[in-house]
Structure 1
Amino acid sequence: MAAVEVRNGYKYYGSKSSPKIVLNQLNMNVMRGSIYGLLGASGCGKTTLLSCIVGQRCLNGGEVRVLGVKPGEPGSGVPGSRVGFMPQEIALVEEMTVKETIFYFGRIYGLTDERIREKFKDLKDLLQLPPARQMIKECSGGQQRRLSFACAMIHDPELLILDEPTVGLDPMLREKIWNFLVETTRNSKLAVIITTHYIEEANQANYIGLMRKGVLLAEDTPTNIMIKFGTQSIEEAFLILSQRQGTEDQVVDQNRNQSVALPAAVLPLEVIDSHDPTTDEKPPIPYEETPNENRKKVFFTTKGRLKALMTKNFVQLFRQPSGIIFMLLFPIIQLTCFYLAIGKTPTNLELGVYSGEVDSYSECFDANLKTIYNANDTCHFNKLSCRYILELGDDIATRKYYASQEDALKEAKRALTVGYIYFAHNFSESVHELIEDGIHASDGAVDNAELTVHIDMTDQQVAYYMQRKLRDKFSDFMNGVVRDCNVSSALVKLPVQFQDPIYGSTDIEFQQYCAPGVVMTMVFFLATLMTAAVFISERMDGIWDRTLLAGVSATEMLWAHLCTQLIIMTLQSFEVIMYIGIVFDTYNNGDTTTLIGLLTLTAFCGMLFGLFISVFCKSHTEANFVATGAFYPMIILCGLLWPLESMPRFLQDLVMVLPFTIPSISARNVIEKGWSITNAKVYNGFLVMAAWTIIFFVLCLVGIRRKA
């Protein structure tokens, strides 16, 4: 019975109108208990043919049957445990040890741990494997290739496919592997398909297929091929067949069912096939896996696969220094930078002061100076500007005194100070008139009783800080003056007073306002970058495809990553909340568990966004461009840098559906107002983030299945 049958196999890439044909009406038989050597130059279609046999790709025309079934049919075991596949690339996780790698593939194939140990011992002696605790990245190229071969053999497959298995191996080991394959196929029904550039070593195969430009030129035993062409070697026969091809053969166009001329020959002049087609074979016996502990179902997968996949995921992350930094240290570093650099009181500022009331500023520091005194039941003021200067102190800015307003302005223009304050020469008299006459005071008195502030507005954050502090100080100053004179404040035109707020403190800090948004965006994009990097690396290294060929579905791999990341993101969210609370004494008026839950959901959504990027990006560079391009618009539009109310109305409605806008408001409501998750202004943040999580998850499933 044939282990592999390919009938009229046709495969092309590109469009139907101008296809790049890779396999052209190819026919192939591989019998059980035999070694089939598939020979041909690079680019002739060998790897594509093998990928179609194992179900990784589909033919555009023709049919493939493996072990009596079509690859990919439910319960066929192909791809899966009935087939062992060793790709050209190493396709192993560099951070895993030799033993962990063997156990990874053994568990994926459903073997018990005891059986894996037995097989590992046998294969270690046969293939001269490195020490069990040696990491893959520390192995030489030959050692890695031998380990890759062992992973393909660990589960005793019925069909073994080896794509260039002996490249980089010494002649003694190549001979040992060939002897093992010959002995194994002689005493069992194991079928082996092996591709090699070493044509002469294929003499030990039972059958040889000579392939060129997507066509099987000849298929027979090595001896019959050499007899047929009167040569002493398979290599000479291959050269003769290649030369006998015409230069203007015909290609069958599968889409239009007619022949078109190609400049290069792609159809054989003669195909030698020693296998008689079997027309009355009995249908194959349905394949059933032997039940064991590792094959028990756990939700979406088996116990062994879940253990193998999650172990691999954790090993990849924790054995890479960059992985530990990304997961644990980066959040700490970024939060430390934020809390140390943002929202703190500006220091080392110099503020100019000019008062027209004093001839010498030493008068203001005279302990005997009285700025307010009562005489004849009347409140009198004397050099009130000195009182304000003293109350101002150096906590806001270092004061620098000037003899004239022109000097103060000149140095402010030279940026030697951040600005200056100015008191009119009749400041005290004007304040007295304002208190005595109230609303009937002259316009001149009202103007001269005010504090005049000139601030350099080029640095708006410093300017805002200075204006706010000077205004608050002046408000306190005027309240003190009125209080000392026992005058009702209702009769006096005072600066605007800040009343006690409903929530938060009177002195609202920019840092506390920004903190929820900063933490959420940081957690989201760290998860995005980390996940995209892991998935792209797996795909580029061939680990993703090799795991799929072992029978693991893309959905199983996705769920395993989700479970792994959920654990990591929960720990990371807990770490972030505890760190900013303990180290920076950030208050939280609400439930910490609610915040951790929202942050974990945010990180989970970011992970899916990273997976979504990795599905459609072919390289790390492309993924970084996409992630960076998405990061800045979200930061700018989520209300983190500037209030949403300042945006045009249509933009306000648009940004409300972004991943950070409403969730950031929800986090702020928990921290500042102490609201619980039952409040609509809190749980709507969870709903928005959950919606984006579902959207990214569905897009990932669609993309992964299309790619697979």
Structure 2
Amino acid sequence: MTAIAVNDVCFGYKTQSILSQIYANIPESKIYGLLGPSGAGKTTLLRLILGRIKPHSGSITVLGSEPGINNPITGYMPQDTALCLSFTVNQTLIYFSNIYRMSQKKFHERKGLLSSILQLPGDNQLISELSGGQQKRVSLALAFLNSPRLVILDEPTVGTDPILGNSIWNYLHSCCREGVSVVIVTHYIEEAALAHMVGIMRNGKLMEEGVPNDLLLKYRETNLENNLNSGEDIDTSLFLNVWILLILIRKNFSKFLQFNVSFLIFLIPAFQALILCVLYDRDSIPIKAAIFNEEPNPQYSTRLLNSIKQVDAYYVQPVKYTSLSSAIDAVDKGYMTAAVWFHQNYTNALDARVEGAQDSDIDNKTLSESSIHLWLDNSNFLYANGLIDSLRLSMYELMGDIFMDKNMSRVEAPLKVVETIYAENSKLSDFLLPGYLISFMYLSQVSLSSQLLIQERKDGLFERSLVAGVGHQLVFISHFITNCLMSFIQIILMLFISFIVFQITNYGSIELILFLVMTQAANAIAIGLLISAIVDEGFVAVLISIFITFSQLFTSGAIFPFELVEPNLRQILYYSPIAMPTESLRNVMLRGWNLYHQYVFHGFALNVGTGCLFLVLAMIIFRRNS
């Protein structure tokens, strides 16, 4: 009986031929040794047998089926250890036992047997802490964990001591007696003599195939170097196995919790919401002004300073100085935002100015002495304008009071706010919060997701998991679901801090806010996955993520009003992944609109549409680049 039949198989990349007219018959319940120097094509042949790639011509049958069909009952050990360094020994064994759907009883039986044969290290030891030989033992144990009918091993005894090597070969022969077929790649021809049959490959061809002792006489070599290459593609079923998907999600969470840097990135949105609420959720912000009052008996100046009005959150906080030069010096040194000088004749001059309000002949001296003189530091634009607005409103109120004191008609501005339709008494933090929720969720998930597929391809478990029956789709979808679940936790933390702890103003539905930010997170995850599917290096992905995020942060209206952007550019930037969703969320929180409003739905639609597009592109590129 034949376990593996290879008939006239050819394979190559573009113009380079790798395998040419390969014929091989690997018998059942036997050990087949495959020898050959580096570049002979051994690795490519193994990958063809495992279904990782397809031949250009010829055919292969494995246990009576096409390659890849029987991988769940095939044990595979690549040349490198193919282990996740952040897992413990027990976590690694459990991960694959779940993929193979082994019962607890069978798992513990197999684990105990393999531990005694291979002398496995302790369950709680991290793979990263093991020696090369110990990692090799764990890797070999995985190949036999599911009681396979076919085992494919690539140099299993390299890095092991001779006693363990003998133990491994004894175990292989005992497996053959139980009906297991074994394909073993080795560069030690004396070791291959322990196999039942040996095939020798050179330059992409199977030169000889026969009994070891006969070939030893013909090809007397002590060491035929072998290298394992990786990176091919595999055809996987589109059927989404829920069980394996849950195992992958669990693995993703386990790996995430072991990386402190990732955990810090995870906390960015909640931390930024906390910073916003602590620093900017203030009802009043004092602006210090150095006051030099030269009046000997101050009246109007005192009334003004005692009735300072607040505009938005800003108001003037007077600090008295004894001279004009010292007040100006305080502004020069950055201690004060402005120096304010009241002339010694300020009250009398202001009286004269009020009484002569209808007189166009008021002299310049009176106008100057009745004016408040400012020396302003405009480097902090917001503070400078807040100070001027506060003084202007305070002066307006004082002038009205003086007119009434003199039984004169009070001059009122011809302006009346009949009703505040939206967001009455809102503050700066109320305006900023929607942008913070959208932007920092976007930053966090793009940064995290942009590393996922890069790490997955470099992860030792990736190749082995694919051979065990885990498809690219399952790996991809597991990362998307994992990050969506983490996003949900992030959003709950942000909303709890904002609305429960600090009670930021909100007129909309909490459920709708959660839903909109969740769609933004899903869109960010899709963009991050697309980046990680295209890029091979983590630091490049980080740079791209930073560029994409920060270029939008200050041009999308998330922090600064979108109306400040030049009109022609605004029409383009409006469709960025942050701008429109920020406007939608702000309209929900500050205007109380629902999802069916045009200027709420458009942000949701943008996220869903672009997110689906990015996901499809990322999946296609991930399959090709894996």
Both structures adopt the same fold (TM-score exceeding 0.5): yes
- 2:537 counterpart of 1:640: no
User: Partner residue of 2:234?
Assistant: none
Residue identity matched to 1:620: G
Alignment of 1:511-530 (within 5 A): 511-530=429-448
Tell me how far apart the structure 2 counterparts of residues 33 and 551 of structure 1 sit (CA, whole Å).
Answer: 23
User: Partner residue of 1:623?
Assistant: 541
CA contact (8 A) 2:198 2:209 kept: yes
Tell me how far apart the structure 2 counterparts of residues 679 and 318 of structure 1 sit (CA, whole Å).
Answer: 40
Q: 1:698 Cα deviation (Å)?
A: 1.4
Tell me how far apart the structure 1 counterparts of residues 555 and 256 of structure 2 sit (CA, whole Å).
Answer: 32
Residue identity matched to 2:568: F
- 2:152 counterpart of 1:152: no
User: Partner residue of 2:230?
Assistant: none
Q: 1:314 Cα deviation (Å)?
A: 2.0
- Of residues 35, 38, 41 in structure 2, which corresponds to 1:45? 41
Residue identity matched to 2:337: V
Q: 1:630 Cα deviation (Å)?
A: 0.7
Tell me how far apart the structure 2 counterparts of residues 442 and 546 of structure 1 sit (CA, whole Å).
Answer: 95
- Of residues 593, 599, 603 in structure 2, which corresponds to 1:675? 593
User: Partner residue of 1:389?
Assistant: 305
- 2:127 counterpart of 1:136: yes
CA contact (8 A) 2:284 2:315 kept: no
Pick closer, same or farther for the CA change 1:419–1:45 going to 2, 3 Å.
farther
Pick closer, same or farther for the CA change 1:647–1:131 going to 2, 3 Å.
same
- Of residues 228, 253, 256 in structure 2, which corresponds to 1:317? 256
Tell me how far apart the structure 1 counterparts of residues 371 and 16 of structure 2 sit (CA, whole Å).
Answer: 83
Instruction: Name the SS for the 2:504 alignment partner.
Output: coil
Pick closer, same or farther for the CA change 1:346–1:64 going to 2, 3 Å.
farther
Tell me how far apart the structure 1 counterparts of residues 438 and 222 of structure 2 sit (CA, whole Å).
Answer: 64
Pick closer, same or farther for the CA change 1:505–1:314 going to 2, 3 Å.
same
| Larger relative contact order (Cα-Cα within 8 Å, sequence gap ≥ 6) | 2
Alignment of 1:292-441 (within 5 A): 301-327=240-266, 329-342=267-280, 350-354=288-292, 358-360=294-296, 363-364=297-298, 371=299, 384-392=300-308, 396-401=316-321, 403-404=323-324, 409=328, 412-413=331-332, 415=334, 417-423=336-342, 427-428=346-347, 431-432=350-351, 435-436=354-355, 441=360
User: Partner residue of 2:380?
Assistant: 459
CA contact (8 A) 2:436 2:559 kept: no
Tell me how far apart the structure 1 counterparts of residues 12 and 369 of structure 2 sit (CA, whole Å).
Answer: 88
Residue identity matched to 1:699: L
Number of positions where the alignment pairs a residue of Structure 1 with one of Structure 2 = 609
User: Partner residue of 2:191?
Assistant: 201
Instruction: Name the SS for the 1:586 alignment partner.
Output: coil
Q: Which runs of 5+ in 1 are unaligned?
A: 240-296, 365-370, 372-383
- 2:118 counterpart of 1:165: no
- Of residues 555, 560, 578 in structure 2, which corresponds to 1:660? 578
Q: Percent identity?
A: 28
- 2:167 counterpart of 1:179: no
Q: Deviations over 1:235-291 (max 9, x none)?
A: 28x69xxxxxxxxxxxxxxxxxxxxxxxxxxxxxxxxxxxxxxxxxxxxxxxxxxxx
Tell me how far apart the structure 1 counterparts of residues 188 and 402 of structure 2 sit (CA, whole Å).
Answer: 100
CA contact (8 A) 1:103 1:308 kept: no
Tell me how far apart the structure 2 counterparts of residues 160 and 482 of structure 1 sit (CA, whole Å).
Answer: 100
Pick closer, same or farther for the CA change 1:359–1:228 going to 2, 3 Å.
closer
Q: 1:432 Cα deviation (Å)?
A: 4.2
Q: TM-score, normalised by structure 2?
A: 0.86
Query: How big is the alpha-carbon RMSD for the aligned residues of Structure 1 and Structure 2?
Result: 3.4
Q: 1:532 Cα deviation (Å)?
A: 2.9
Q: 1:635 Cα deviation (Å)?
A: 0.7
- 2:2 counterpart of 1:28: no
Instruction: Name the SS for the 1:81 alignment partner.
Output: helix
CA contact (8 A) 2:281 2:427 kept: yes
User: Partner residue of 2:82?
Assistant: 91
Instruction: Name the SS for the 2:250 alignment partner.
Output: helix
- Of residues 208, 220, 226 in structure 2, which corresponds to 1:218? 208
Residue identity matched to 1:390: N
Instruction: Name the SS for the 1:420 alignment partner.
Output: strand
Residue identity matched to 2:132: G
Pick closer, same or farther for the CA change 1:206–1:419 going to 2, 3 Å.
same
CA contact (8 A) 2:443 2:549 kept: yes
CA contact (8 A) 1:350 1:400 kept: no
Q: 1:599 Cα deviation (Å)?
A: 2.0
CA contact (8 A) 1:343 1:511 kept: yes
User: Partner residue of 1:70?
Assistant: 66
Alignment of 1:583-602 (within 5 A): 583-602=501-520
Q: 1:423 Cα deviation (Å)?
A: 4.5
Tell me how far apart the structure 2 counterparts of residues 104 and 67 of structure 1 sit (CA, whole Å).
Answer: 25
Q: Deviations over 1:592-611 (max 9, x none)?
A: 22222222222222222221
Residue identity matched to 1:471: R
CA contact (8 A) 1:590 1:674 kept: yes
Q: 1:549 Cα deviation (Å)?
A: 1.4
Tell me how far apart the structure 1 counterparts of residues 609 and 190 of structure 2 sit (CA, whole Å).
Answer: 60
Q: Deviations over 1:127-180 (max 9, x none)?
A: 222333444344433333222222222223332111222222221111111111
Instruction: Name the SS for the 2:136 alignment partner.
Output: helix
Q: Deviations over 1:544-566 (max 9, x none)?
A: 22212111211122222333333
